[in-house]
């Protein structure tokens, strides 16, 4: 064990007389103290920030889709912000289908002990596409894939945007969308038929089959079907 080791401590960028973190007490529903990063963000990106709101003590900044990546990159890099931890990426669709779909990023600044929620609103009818923040946070890899899997939101710039929880040949759509029925889009018999018709050998992706020329070891009919363009997956 090296003796020169210094741990990275959350809250290290705060002044020494800053109050110690404490459990939030009697948080108002609206109009709490906004996170100072929101004002800094508005000053730095006046065109990108559409609105700032505080709900239950959490600051939400709605930003423009086009400038999202620059905003996140600045929040990550700037010495006065240092949002180095991506907690979550998810989306919200409301029961009122006229309302836009919201893509939500939860960011934490460990050195400053701040929490910020970023949102991008995707109007119904517009393409469901937002920039990927994978180039800034590697944590976004699976979080964005899951969001794509569940909502069909495409994260442009993600290196490997595939379905994650559902299998690759899943055809019923995007389960967490509000127009998706709770029991699935297909009938029970159709779901069963598809499950039985699935080829159990087709468990490897094309990329995986390229390892050690595993494609060559497959049975003839399997190779024929794969060459004809049949997709593999889980």
Which residues of this chain interact with other proteins, rule CB under 8 A? 1-2, 5, 7-11, 20-27, 29, 55-56, 58, 60, 84-88, 90, 92-96, 104, 106, 110, 113, 115, 117, 137-143, 146, 150, 164-167, 175-176, 180, 182, 204-205, 207-208, 211-212, 214, 234
Nearer to other proteins, 49 or 209 (CB): 209
CA dist 53 and 180 (Å) reads 30
Q: For strands 114-122 and 101-109, give the pairing.
A: antiparallel
* Contacts by 178-187, CB closer than 8 A, 24 or more apart: 178/93, 178/94, 178/95, 178/97, 179/97
Residue 226 CB, shortest distance to other proteins, in Å, is 15
Residue 116 CB, shortest distance to other proteins, in Å, is 11
Residue 121 CB, shortest distance to other proteins, in Å, is 14
Nearer to other proteins, 43 or 211 (CB): 211
Residue 48 CB, shortest distance to other proteins, in Å, is 21
End-to-end CA distance of the chain: 44
How would you label 80-92 residue by residue, b for 16+ Cβ within 10 Å and e otherwise?
ebbbbbbeebbbe
């Amino acid at each position: 064990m090296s003796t020169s080791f210094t741990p990275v401590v959350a809250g290290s960028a705060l002044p020494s007389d800053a109050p110690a973190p404490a459990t939030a007490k009697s948080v108002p529903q609206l109009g709490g103290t906004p996170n100072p990063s929101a004002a800094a963000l508005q000053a730095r990106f006046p065109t990108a920030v559409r609105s700032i709101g505080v709900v239950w003590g959490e600051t939400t900044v709605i930003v423009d889709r086009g400038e999202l990546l620059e905003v996140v990159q600045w929040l990550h890099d700037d010495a006065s912000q240092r949002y180095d931890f991506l907690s979550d990426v998810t989306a919200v669709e409301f029961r009122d289908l006229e309302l836009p779909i919201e893509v939500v990023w939860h960011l934490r600044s460990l050195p400053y002990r701040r929490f910020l929620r970023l949102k991008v609103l995707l109007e119904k009818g517009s393409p469901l596409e937002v920039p990927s923040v994978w180039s800034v946070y590697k944590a976004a890899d699976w979080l964005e894939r899951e969001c794509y899997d569940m909502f069909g939101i495409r994260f442009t710039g993600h290196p490997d945007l595939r379905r994650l929880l559902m299998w690759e040949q899943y055809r019923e759509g995007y389960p967490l969308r509000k127009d998706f029925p709770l029991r699935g889009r297909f009938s029970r018999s159709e779901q069963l038929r598809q499950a039985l018709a699935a080829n159990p050998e087709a468990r490897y992706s094309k990329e995986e089959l390229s390892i050690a020329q595993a494609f060559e070891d497959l049975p003839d009919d399997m190779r024929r079907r794969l060459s004809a363009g049949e997709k593999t997956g889980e």
